[in-house]
Amino acid sequence: MKSSGPGNRARQGVRSPLSRADVVDAAVRYIDEHGLDALTMRALAKEMGVYPTALYWHIGSKPQLVVAASARVLDGLVLPAERGVDWDVWLGQVARLCRAAMHRHPNLAPIMGSQLVVSTTAIPFVERMLSVLERAGFENDELVDSFNAVIGFLLGWVTLELSAPPVDAEAGWQTAFAAELREVDPNTFPVLTRNMTAMANNAFLARWDTGRDKPMDRSFEAALDVLIRGLRSKAG
């Protein structure tokens, strides 16, 4: 299905000026539909009905476009109000909202934590998060550490959950991997084999379906609970 909106301005006869936001939005849609590896400036320009030079003018290089597109995943996030809400409840709500946003753009999620963010677009989010953590009693180095714990959990856990299947894997690799797991030596790996029914295709390093197809909801909630309990134990 072809995407709509400013991305198809030429086909629709739209003559409004092209903007940086148009380019980034079109890139997000293109990556959602075709994958990150398929994105080139020429391919995106063709999709948008413009010359590639127009994209370079507004966004710079392809790496800069990818950074902007990955940042856009959380740009539209509407954070819940803090007033009248306990800080730990608020953190849980935000964590679930962030995960849902990343699940809507799984082709971009794996790179969100793989490069340094050199944009100030996340500053409002940073300010809100710090404000809540400060209200919980964290300050100075502990404020930094608790903030890093939350952001590391959000980006790291969901990035791993949404990791893509092997690029060069042969057809039927899932069946082969599942068979290898069933044949693990119980004498060498007794705990794993005792818990294989629960672990197989449900645990990191022992699954063949990505979280894009089989979301790890229960494990996410368990990990979030551990994080929040840990923060509570350290809060002032």
pLDDT in tens, 92-121: 999 999 999 999 999 988 787 766 565 677
pTM given for the model: 0.83
Q: Is residue 182 part of a domain?
A: no
- Asked whether 220 and 99 are in contact (CB, 8 A), the reply is yes
Domain boundary among 47, 72, 97: 72
Instruction: Check whether residue 130 and residue 229 sit in a common domain.
Output: yes
* Same domain? 68 vs 83: no
| Helices first, then strands: H and E counts in the chain | 12, 0
Coil, helix or strand for 223?
A: helix
Q: How far is CA 63 from the centre of its chain?
A: 17
Residues 9 and 108 in one domain: no
Q: How confident is the model at residue 171 (pLDDT cuts 50, 70, 90)?
A: confident
Q: What is the pLDDT of the chain when averaged over all its residues?
A: 88
CATH number, domain containing residue 64: 1.10.10.60
pLDDT in tens, 172-225: 899 999 999 999 999 999 999 999 999 999 999 999 999 999 999 999 999 999
Q: Is 215 a member of any domain?
A: no
Task: Assess contact for 164 and 111: CB atoms under 8 A.
Answer: no
Domain-embedded: residue 153? yes
Which value, to the nearest 10 degrees, does the dihedral of the CA atoms of residues 132, 133, 138, 139 take?
-80
CA 61 to chain centroid, in Å, comes to 22
Q: Average the pLDDT over 43-72 and give the result.
A: 90
**Residue in the block written with tokens 């084999």:** 193
Q: Are residues 64 and 119 part of one domain?
A: no
In a domain, 104, yes or no: yes
Cβ of 14: how many Cβ atoms within 10 Å?
Answer: 12
Please report which confidence band the pLDDT of residue 7 belongs to, taking 50, 70 and 90 as the band edges.
very low
Residue range(s) defining the domain that contains residue 44: 5-72
Task: Say what percent of the chain tops pLDDT 70.
Answer: 90
Number of domains, the chain: 2
Element (H, E) at 174: helix 173-182
* Residues 144, 89 share a domain: yes
In this structure, are 116 and 32 located in the same domain? no
| 43 and 95 together in one domain | no
User: Are 42 and 98 within one domain?
Assistant: no
Asked whether residue 160 falls in the same domain as residue 122, the answer is yes
Asked, for residue 213, whether it belongs to a domain, the answer is: no
| 36 shares its domain with 113 | no
* 72, 94, 124 - which closes a domain: 72
86 shares a domain with 26: no
Q: Is 184 contained in some domain?
A: no
Question: What pLDDT is recorded for position 118?
Answer: 57
Q: Is residue 201 part of a domain?
A: no
Same structural domain for residues 27 and 62?
yes
Distance CA 202, CA 205 (A): 9
Reference 153, options 82, 57, 224, 58; nearest CA is 224
Per-residue pLDDT band at 77 (split at 50, 70, 90): confident
- What backbone phi and psi angles, to 5 degrees, belong to 170? -75, 160
pLDDT attached to residue 114: 67
Checking if the pLDDT of 75 tops 90, the result is no
**Residue 37 located in a structural domain:** yes
Residue 115: the pLDDT is 62
